Amino acid sequence: MAHELAAIERETIQRELRQIFDEPTVEVLGQILGRMAARAEELRVTRDEFQALRATVEDLALAQRRTDRAVQRLAEAQQRAEERLSRLEETVQRLVEAQQRAEERLSRLEETVQRLAEAQQRTEEELRQLAEAQRYMAHDLARIRGDHLELVYERKAYAYFGPLLRRVRAVSPVELEDEMEARLAAWEFRDWLRLDLLIHGRPRHLEEAPEIWLAVEVSAVVDSHDVDRALQRADYMRRAGYLAIPTVAGERLTKGAEKAIEMHHVLAVTDGKIMRWEEALSEALAWQRASQHSQ
């Protein structure tokens, strides 16, 4: 800009000089000198303004450089932010992928747990069926053992009951069915026919004792239900006029059966061992005397 002002000034001076040479009069010279003085004054003012403008421009240039540096720093910060954002996006992407893999593993785990639960249900059902089959087998085995014991006690009645009775023998219910059927209700007679074993004889150590009938319930393991059936079926025979003693026989007694035979004076024969014979016989003879007295 300073060069442009200088060029303008040179052109003005040259123009004024040409006018002096063309019109060399005092008046023209005075006019030219006046204009040149005024121009010099203007030029001085213009130079001051130029200096101020130049200072302003330099300030603006300095501010621009600072702005450029600030913009550069902002650009660099923006670039770093974008790089960090890119790294963050990569990290988020890895987390998303890891989450997807975790969900896939969880899905597979849930499927595995479901299969295990189904297998457990099948196993429990198989165990239930096995336990049920085992109960049936145990029941059948107990029944078979009971049937076998019935045959054993029937065939060896003298060996088991001979120490208690003279001329002991196993009797078929057929021999008593007419009188029993006549004196019992139909359902009582049917229940009596289910008696496992009927033994007849006279007490060995009582010479004048009457005939005795043993209403025997046989089971491998004698429980309180066997005792109840023996009591009930001996009662049927007493009501029909026979001196019957409730009896249970088997391999062993449960605790409940032991309490029941003690409480109700029931004869028990287990594996050759005789229990409660005296109490059972005394109770039967007492019943007979009471029955005869009431008649």
The reported pLDDT for the residue numbered 143 is 67
Given a cut of 90, whether residue 170 has pLDDT beyond it is yes
Residue 209 pLDDT > 70: yes
Instruction: Please tell me the predicted confidence (pLDDT) of residue 33.
Output: 63
159-161-167 Cα angle (round to 5): 90
pLDDT at residue number 130: 83
Q: Which residue blocks in 156-223 are alpha helix, DSSP H?
A: 157-161, 177-183, 186-193
Ranking 1-15, 23-37, 203-217 by mean pLDDT, the lowest is 1-15
User: Which residue type does 119 have?
Assistant: A
Alpha-carbon distance of 83 to 25, in angstroms, equals: 81
Band of residue 215 on the pLDDT scale cut at 50, 70, 90: very high
Q: Which band of pLDDT confidence, cut at 50, 70 and 90, is reported for residue 138?
A: low
- Most trustworthy range by pLDDT among 62-66, 75-79, 224-228: 224-228
For residues 269 and 215, what is the distance between their CA atoms, to the nearest angstrom?
12
User: For 241-256, what is each residue's pLDDT tens digit?
Assistant: 999 999 999 999 999 9
* Contact partners, residue 245, CB within 8 Å, separation at least 6: 212, 213, 214, 215, 234, 267, 280, 281, 283, 284
Q: How confident is the model at residue 261 (pLDDT cuts 50, 70, 90)?
A: very high
Element (H, E) at 214: strand 212-222
Local confidence band at 239 (pLDDT 50, 70, 90 cut-offs): very high
Per DSSP (E only), the strands in 26-180 are: 165-170
Q: What is the pLDDT of residues 105-135, one digit of tens each?
A: 888 888 889 889 888 988 888 888 888 877 7
